[in-house]
Amino acid sequence: AQSVTQPDIHITVSEGASLELRCNYSYGATPYLFWYVQSPGQGLQLLLKYFSGDTLVQGIKGFEAEFKRSQSSFNLRKPSVHWSDAAEYFCAVGGNAGNMLTFGGGTRLMVKP
Judged by CB, which is closer to other proteins: 45, or 58? 45
Name the phi and psi angles at 98, rounded to 5.
Answer: 95, -15
Q: Using the rule CB under 8 A, is 7 a contact of other proteins?
A: no
Tell how strand 10-14 and strand 107-112 pair up.
Answer: parallel
Minimum separation from the CB atom of position 97 to other proteins (A): 4
In the three-class reduction of DSSP (H, G, I as helix; E, B as strand; rest coil), residue 107 is classed as strand
Residues 19-78 that bind other proteins (CB under 8 A): 32, 34, 36, 41-46, 49, 51-52
Piece of the chain touching other proteins by CB under 8 A; list 11-19, 54-62, 69-77, 105-113: 105-113
**Rounded CA separation 40/75 (Å):** 22
